[in-house]
Structure 1
Amino acid sequence: MATSLKSLSQYSDKNLVDMSTKKFGIVVSEWNDEITEALYKGALETLLKHGVKKYNIFRKNVPGSFELSLGAQWLAQLDEIDAVICLGCVIQGETRHFDFICDAVAHGITNVSLKYNKPVIFGVLTPNNQQQALDRAGGKHGNKGDEAAITAIKMLGF
């Protein structure tokens, strides 16, 4: 569904299971940190709101979105981690670099999830410009970090 039709921060909280013992890894890209820090804040607040204990949330930073897949794999391979949330932002530029990075990250995150049989969530913005990123990192379209966190919670209740 297009973001313009729905806020990323609006979701149904029906049928959620107890998260008080679940452990989450959050991998955050340092590139476009104004955006990724806002995404992290949204994800963290949503996890806490739904009963996840702060000491059960483990944050790791990686240099850029391309490195999210490996960071996610390092966390997913830990038996104590129940779900991993990947947060990044790749803004369209003038070259095809955007296409290659986005494709690699999407495939990499999917592969980690399948390899470790646990939720590894794609919380990566792929906007055309900085303003679109801001709009989706706590702006007029909500926060993709919220959406990524609630997705992880719902997948653990599957």
Structure 2
Amino acid sequence: MASQLKNLSDFSHTTIPSAANYRFGIVVAEWNAAITSALLQGAYQTLISNGAKEESIKIYPVPGSFELTSGAELLLKKGNVDAVICLGCVIQGETRHFDFICNAVANGVSNVSIKYSKPVIFGVLTTDNLQQAIDRSGGKHGNKGDEAAITAIKMVDLAETLMQ
């Protein structure tokens, strides 16, 4: 497994544009709150450290990862953000529920992004167990929230570049 030996949230090899002129919405699942709170902290701090203004970051909680798609759509309908970051955590259980939720959220996030022609970022952990989620929400493999924030910044910058 490639992630066993590295921090996946290392962006020292890439140029990150300034987030100073962009507005971000973060939709975060309340289910698995210890994990999603860490993802939120990572995403928020990464946006700030890359120039985003506090007043340009709006946070919206939703009950669970399944609701991330509708939260993102409601936010984009309002039209006051350049990108939406969806943060959640789905941990494999004993039933196929995991597969249905992960598939629905991944497809939903992609569809909302296409519908509104705005970046909607999939920052959802889909892990086999709690330890893997901990490792990817600020643990030894970095923080998927950081990665989602960097992706949002880069995609908003790309959209702006292509619109010129």
Band the TM-score falls in, shorter-chain normalisation: over 0.9
1:78 aligns with: 78
The Cα shift of 1:139 comes to: 0.4
Question: What amino acid sits opposite 2:42 in the alignment?
Answer: G
CA RMSD of aligned residues (A): 1.4
* 1:5 Cα deviation from its structure 2 partner: 4.9
TM-score (norm 2): 0.91
SS at match of 1:85: strand
Deviation per residue, 1:59-104 (Å, 9 max, x gap): 0000000000000111122322000000000000000000000000
Give 5+ residue unaligned stretches, structure 1.
none
Q: Give the match for residue 98 of structure 2.
A: 98
Tell me whether 1:17 sits opposite 2:17 in the alignment. Answer: yes
Cα distance in structure 2, aligned partners of 1:49 and 1:77: 28
**Runs of 4+ that moved beyond 6 A:** none
What's the % identity of the aligned pairs? Answer: 63
1:17-69 superposed Cα distances (whole Å, 9 cap, x missing partner):
33212100000000000000000000000000000000100000000000000
CA–CA separation in structure 2 for the residues paired with 1:127 and 1:144 = 12
Give the secondary structure class of the aligned counterpart of 2:81. coil
CA distance in 1, matches of 2:157, 2:142: 24
1:89 aligned partner: 89
TM-score (norm 1): 0.95
8 Å CA contact retained: 1:92, 1:127: yes
For the residues of structure 2 that align with 1:14 and 1:141, how far apart are their CA atoms? 18
Partner SS state of residue 78, structure 2:
coil
The answer for the alignment partner of 1:130 in structure 2 is: 130
Q: Secondary structure at the match of 1:124?
A: strand
The AA in structure 2 aligned to 1:121 is I
Do the aligned partners of 1:8 and 1:146 also contact (CA within 8 Å) in 2? no
Counterpart of 1:9, as a letter, is S
Name whichever structure is richer in helix by fraction: 2
Question: Which whole-Å CA distance do the structure 1 matches of 2:2 and 2:120 have between them?
Answer: 22
CA distance in 1, matches of 2:81, 2:35: 25
Query: Do the aligned residues in 1 keep the contact of 2:6 with 2:140 (CA within 8 Å)?
Result: no
Q: Which residue of 2 aligns with 1:32?
A: 32
